[in-house]
């Protein structure tokens, strides 16, 4: 059944301005329509909140504030917000209309993507989120449904601010957290907290899904998935995609670390890591073809679209039980944040009255006591055997000040498990072990686990002065201090050599926490305006450009042009464009004009004659008599049947009455 025909808003004029044309999609929080702005005659998308939310004055106030914040977020990879308002019971957002599909549609059709395609989609997502994070906004509901891919290939992130507005309202009143269960970070479930790192986690899950065609945590119920998010690490995607590069496993593991302190601090930092990962991969690794996504077992989550909605969360996440309705799974869940733990007082159970005890009860109690004693004896014997055979003690080896990799190897060589946590230290180098639990020399039973605390370096780091430093060296210096090379922009500089750093943001000397992204401004060299060399001989053109401080490259194949054979036909960048000294100008040589047979246009009217000639690539000039011109060609400057240069000019002379 066509739901559009039943929707009362279709065909209506909302707020005296927006004509609703069709219903596009519906979710747990809002319905999206295609509409026309009748004032600007512009096609747009109209997101209308559900009436249950629109009647809440506190929600509407917060929603308006968030909409204004998002409207100020101008970025090519963010779906733009044009307007917001109310009309009776309707609260709406007027947004940019993106013709295309969602990432969910792509995954549903293709199952899994090659690494190159996955990174091509991930990077603009992170660029959009990075701009939001710098503006103090957190998306909180990143998922494939909120990634739009336009018909022109551009990637845009939707629903900025909506999730935050809803979350702000309902958390205050119910102590719950909004988010799609498959993409929620552990801290959102456990504590109800959300900063930029929850978007980083969700992007890691989205990357995993693009690479493998499935979600990392699946199950037959919300509780099962919540339990996995809290207690299980995301497995390497290479386990499902043979030949997938280990660098991609590392990128997924970094973004989906259960401890938010171990994730990049925001999308800008993760974008930098993603770009570094791409640079490390060969073409063969980028073009690995994954197997088609496997069918989801019956009762699993499946690949269907996931809705943003509100459902209760249990006070504690217990090991999962089967039997939850599948419809509950394909929704973005609002999870109840557990209250502060309280001590529960148990009321003692009164002993039964003596007269109520049945005859023989004492004998039964004696038998029960005997059974319990036997069970305890067996358990004690079994425990003793375990202590004697498998429970031998191991001395924790000394790993302080070792690198993390060396420490892990040392402990595992002793048969011990390793758990890694991170902390700040001004005395221990970043990436080296600052503490162990149990401590060095202590006894640990069997194959127990040793927790090592790895230094993140000082908790406050001064941004170094990188002026004049080659970009590769600058990035290495930042990483050595625990900082992350961030976005790069290019600028002209007569003082700083091409390819070296002009400055940083934050500026040199600024105090920042480790894992902060530092943007780099890189020199293009001194500014040079490209001289024009069209029509010049090859040697002359090269000499002119080199004299201006530019490099020259000649295209492999010449082209037809109006320029003489052997001279320059094309120049890229064009004359007058601003370049950095030492940059390259590409020149394409001419192989002369293409000669085209000239048709006979005498006797034709002016319009038909011009069209026939211009369709063949000629320029046309018209010569009309001063008195009484007629609309008929009398003669042409090049006779019919002769060849003329394509792009050249042919003059047609019109008849006169005299």
In sequence order, the 6+-apart residues with CB closer than 8 A to the CB of 138 are 132, 164, 194, 195, 196, 198, 199
The residue written with tokens 């301005």 in the block is 17
Distance, in Å, from the CA atom of 524 to the CA atom of 281, rounded to the nearest integer, reads 26
Query: Count of CB atoms within 10 A of residue 546's CB?
Result: 12
| Nearest Cα residue to 160 out of 125, 210, 119, 205 | 125
Tell me the HSE value of 205 on the side-chain side, using a 13 A CA sphere: 24
**Could you give the residue numbers annotated as active site?**
141
By CB atoms closer than 10 A (0-12, 13-18, 19+), residue 182 is buried
Q: How far is CA 550 from the centre of its chain?
A: 37
- The CA distance from 467 to 410, in Å, is 41
Distance CA 391, CA 379 (A): 16
Strands (DSSP E) contained in 38-186 are: 42-49, 81-87, 90-96, 100-102, 147-150, 155-157, 176-180
- Count of alpha carbons within 13 Å of 509, Cβ hemisphere only? 1
CA separation for the pair 135, 200 (Å, rounded): 16
Q: CA-to-CA distance for 582 and 585, rounded, in angstroms?
A: 10
- How many secondary structure helices (H) and strands (E) does the chain include? 17, 32
| SS3 sequence of 456-480 | CCCCCEECCCCCCCEHHHHHHHHHH
């Amino acid at each position: 059944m066509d739901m559009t025909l039943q929707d009362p808003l279709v065909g209506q004029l909302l707020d005296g301005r927006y004509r609703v044309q069709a219903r596009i999609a519906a979710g747990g929080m809002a319905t999206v329509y295609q509409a026309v702005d009748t004032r600007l005659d512009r096609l747009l998308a109209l997101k209308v909140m559900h009436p249950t939310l629109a009647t809440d004055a506190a929600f509407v106030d917060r929603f308006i504030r968030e909409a204004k914040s998002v409207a100020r977020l101008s970025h090519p990879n963010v779906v733009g917000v044009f307007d917001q308002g109310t009309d009776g019971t309707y609260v709406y957002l007027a947004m940019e209309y993106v013709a295309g599909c969602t990432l969910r549609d792509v995954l549903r059709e293709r199952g899994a993507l090659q690494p190159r395609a996955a990174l091509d989609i991930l990077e603009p997502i992170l660029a959009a989120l990075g701009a939001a994070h710098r503006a103090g906004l957190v998306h909180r509901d990143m998922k494939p449904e909120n990634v739009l891919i336009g018909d022109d290939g551009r990637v845009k992130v939707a629903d900025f601010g909506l999730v935050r507005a809803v979350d702000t309202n309902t958390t205050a009143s119910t102590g719950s957290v909004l988010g799609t269960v498959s993409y929620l970070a552990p801290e959102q479930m456990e504590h109800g907290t959300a900063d930029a790192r929850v978007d980083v986690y969700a992007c890691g899950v989205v990357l995993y899904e693009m690479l493998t065609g499935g979600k990392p945590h699946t199950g037959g119920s919300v509780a099962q998935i919540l339990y996995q998010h809290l207690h299980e690490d995301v497995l390497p995607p290479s386990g499902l995609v043979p030949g997938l590069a280990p660098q991609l496993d590392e990128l997924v593991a970094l973004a989906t670390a259960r401890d938010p302190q171990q994730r990049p601090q925001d999308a800008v930092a993760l974008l930098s890591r993603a770009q570094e990962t791409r640079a490390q991969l060969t073409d063969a690794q980028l073009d690995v073809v994954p197997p088609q996504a496997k069918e989801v077992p019956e009762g699993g989550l499946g690949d269907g679209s996931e809705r943003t909605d509100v459902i209760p969360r249990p006070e504690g996440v217990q090991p999962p039980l089967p039997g939850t309705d599948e419809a509950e799974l394909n929704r973005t869940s609002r999870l109840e944040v557990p209250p502060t733990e309280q001590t529960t007082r148990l009321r003692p159970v009164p002993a039964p009255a003596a007269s109520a005890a049945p005859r023989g009860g004492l004998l039964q109690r004696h038998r029960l006591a005997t059974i319990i004693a036997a069970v305890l004896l067996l358990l004690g014997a079994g425990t003793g055997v375990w202590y004697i055979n498998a429970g031998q003690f191991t001395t924790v080896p000394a790993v302080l000040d070792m690198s993390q990799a060396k420490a892990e190897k040392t402990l595992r060589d002793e048969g011990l498990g390793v758990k890694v946590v991170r902390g700040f230290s001004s005395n221990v180098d970043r990436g080296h072990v600052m503490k162990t639990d149990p401590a060095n020399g202590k006894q640990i039973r069997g194959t127990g686990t040793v927790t090592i605390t790895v230094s993140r370096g000082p908790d406050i780091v001064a941004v170094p002065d990188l002026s004049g430093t080659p970009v590769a060296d600058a990035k290495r210096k930042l990483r050595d201090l625990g900082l992350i090379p961030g976005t790069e922009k290019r600028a002209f500089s007569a003082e700083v050599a091409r390819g070296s750093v002009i400055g940083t943001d934050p500026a040199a000397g600024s105090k920042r926490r480790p894992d902060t992204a530092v943007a780099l401004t890189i020199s293009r060299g001194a500014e040079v305006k490209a001289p024009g060399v069209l029509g010049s001989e090859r040697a002359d053109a090269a000499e002119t450009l080199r004299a201006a401080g530019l490099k020259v490259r000649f295209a492999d194949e010449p082209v037809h042009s109006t320029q003489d054979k052997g001279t320059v036909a094309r120049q890229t960048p064009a004359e007058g464009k601003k370049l950095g000294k030492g940059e390259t100008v590409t020149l394409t040589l001419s192989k002369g004009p293409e000669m085209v047979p000239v048709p006979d246009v005498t006797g034709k009217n002016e319009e038909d004659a011009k069209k026939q000639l211009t369709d063949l690539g000629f320029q046309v000039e018209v010569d009309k008599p001063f008195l009484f011109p007629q609309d008929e060609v009398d003669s042409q400057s090049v006779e019919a049947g002769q060849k003329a240069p394509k792009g050249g000019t042919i003059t047609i002379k019109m008849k006169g009455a005299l």
